[in-house]
Amino acid sequence: MRAFPLRRGPRGTPRSPRSRASLRTTFAASFAAVAAGVTLLVGLLSYDAAAQLVRRDQQSVFAEVVSDLRSQVRHRSLDAEDYASGDLDHDGLRDDLTRPTRADVQVLGAGGRIVDRGSRALPVDPTERAIAREREPGKVARRDIEINGEEYRLATVALGGGRGAVQVAQQFSDTEDLLKDLQDRTLLFALLVVVSAGLFGWWLARRITGRLVRLASAAEGVAATGRVDIQVPVVGRDEVGRLGRSFDHMLGRLAKAEDDQRRLVQDAGHELRTPLTSLRTNISLLHRIDELPPGARAELVADLAEESRELTDLVNELVDLAAGRPDDERTEELTLVDVAREAAAVAGRRTGRTITLRAEGAQLFEGRPAALQRAVTNLLENAAKFDRGGTEPIEIVVEGRRVTVLDRGPGIAAADLAHVFDRFYRAPGARGLPGSGLGLSIVREVATRHGGTVFAEARQGGGAVLGFEVGDGAGDFGGE
């Protein structure tokens, strides 16, 4: 037995040679098989019904001819000469028998001798000779015979009074030949239908699977090269077209995610470099800490503690941001008022600032409470960071599905309003302040996941207004 090598599919899965059969071939073969089954079933049923009908009709006509013959000899005194073949007008008794079925008629005289042979000689056996000698008219004997390889039905009817008998024979092998020809034609027609169905199925499958083949080629190209920026053929509005559009959309999302990941790594490396450099510089001074005056020692330790804290916050925010979405947190029905109240308590303990909450028209919606609380907390801590030394309370205003945080800090320049929620963006006036530049980008990420948007504007009288609004729908929660 010959061994066939196995092909390796994705992730090392072996694929046998049988798996190479294309969908086009399978579709065409299935189409032809269904057409063959239906055609053969209909053809055989139709042939069987037609054959039974023809046979019954032939038997009925022959039985009617024999019945008419018996009726004639019973009601009239007839002899062999009355059924002779010499009637020039073709309207005699013999013609009445041959006309309906084109039957062969042979006349027997007394004792069973052949008086008038028809177009072909019919056999006469002792039973039929006995019928010719019968005294009672209408006696009949039936049998099937074979003449020169042809099959016949034969009926011999007594004329009565020993005057002889009349034999009527109907060939039924020609009927069977006709039915056999019909059967052959039916099978030929079924074969033509199967071939036509297979060709049509192949053509149809080629039209349908052509787009699938192109999609498969695109998918194989992605698997082989790792590139997700390839062009995906999208044609049609049917299921295949929907599949193409979904695949193209998926690749677009993957390309965007890959670009975001690359940009995040680059930005994170840039942002981590500064605190790490400062931390390394201060650590290099530790081996001379005994030589430093007490004030410098305290300042060095404080700088190390502050830099390690900023580095820890930066790493934590990078982890949260790289995770993209907290898939492990389930959604629940909540209001932004409850979220803002808990966030205000947390931010108040962290910053030591007074935070006031004003709520109008609380609305229930489906959301992730921890993520939303983190977003509001980031807004509050951002307000406290830019309003250091401020004495006025930080305000939170909740209106339905909208959260607004108002502070009295230095405000935001008009050129910076469009960028304050970008990753690692630091306004020129904020470069000296602690922070990673990720807090507000996390706010935007949470708002987007909840189908909402963020906003930033200057506050009248000084300060800034920042916030977000969640959408009416369920948001993008990863299929939950």
Strand-pair partners of 228: none
CB of 300 closer than 8 Å to CB of 282: yes
Whether the CA torsion 100, 103, 106, 112 is positive or negative: it is negative
Whole-number pLDDT of residue 387: 78
Q: What is the pTM of this model?
A: 0.43
| Cβ–Cβ < 8 Å for 204, 196 | no
Amino acid making up residue 401: R
The CB density around residue 337, as the number of other CB atoms within 10 Å, is 19
Domains and CATH numbers, the chain: 24-177 (3.30.450), 228-323 (1.10.287.130), 329-475 (3.30.565.10)
Structure tokens at 274: 């500064």
What is the Cα 306 distance to its own chain's centre? 58
Stretch (H or E) spanning 464: strand 464-469
Contact 366, 427 (CB under 8 A): no
Cα distances (angstroms) measured from residue 253 to each of 54, 127, 256: 71, 97, 5
Q: Which residues of 123-133 are buried (b: 16+ CB within 10 A; e: fewer)?
A: ebeeebbebbb
- Dihedral sign for Cα 145, 146, 147, 153, please: positive
pLDDT (0 to 100) of residue 17? 41
> Burial, 432: exposed, middle or buried (Cβ in 10 Å; 0-12, 13-18, 19+)?
exposed
Dihedral angle over CA of 430, 432, 436, 439, nearest 10: -30
Where b means 16+ CB within 10 Å and e means fewer, 201-226 reads bbeebeebbebbebbeebeeebeeee
User: What angle, 0 to 180 degrees and rounded to 10, lies between the N-to-C axes of helices 239-284 and 173-225?
Assistant: 20
Question: What one-letter code names the amino acid at 46?
Answer: S
What is the CB-side half-sphere exposure of residue 253 using CA atoms within 13 A? 6
pLDDT at 173: 59
Token look-up 């020039």 returns: 88
Residue 181 vs residues 14, 40, 51, 187: alpha-carbon distances, Å: 53, 16, 11, 10
CB neighbourhood size of 236 (10 A)? 14
pLDDT tens digit at each of 480 positions of the chain: 444 444 444 444 444 444 445 666 777 777 778 877 787 777 777 777 777 777 777 778 888 888 888 888 888 888 888 887 765 555 667 777 776 666 788 888 888 888 888 777 888 899 888 988 888 998 999 898 888 878 888 899 998 888 899 988 887 756 666 667 777 777 788 788 778 877 887 787 777 777 777 777 777 777 777 777 777 766 667 777 777 788 778 887 788 777 777 776 766 665 566 567 777 877 877 777 777 788 777 877 777 777 777 677 667 766 766 665 544 568 899 999 999 999 998 888 878 888 999 988 788 898 988 889 888 988 998 888 877 777 788 999 999 999 999 988 777 777 777 778 887 665 544 444 444 467 788 888 889 888 999 999 988 888 889 999 998 755 555 443
Give the C-alpha separation, 434 to 264, whole Å: 20
Q: Which two tokens stand for residue 201?
A: 């199925």
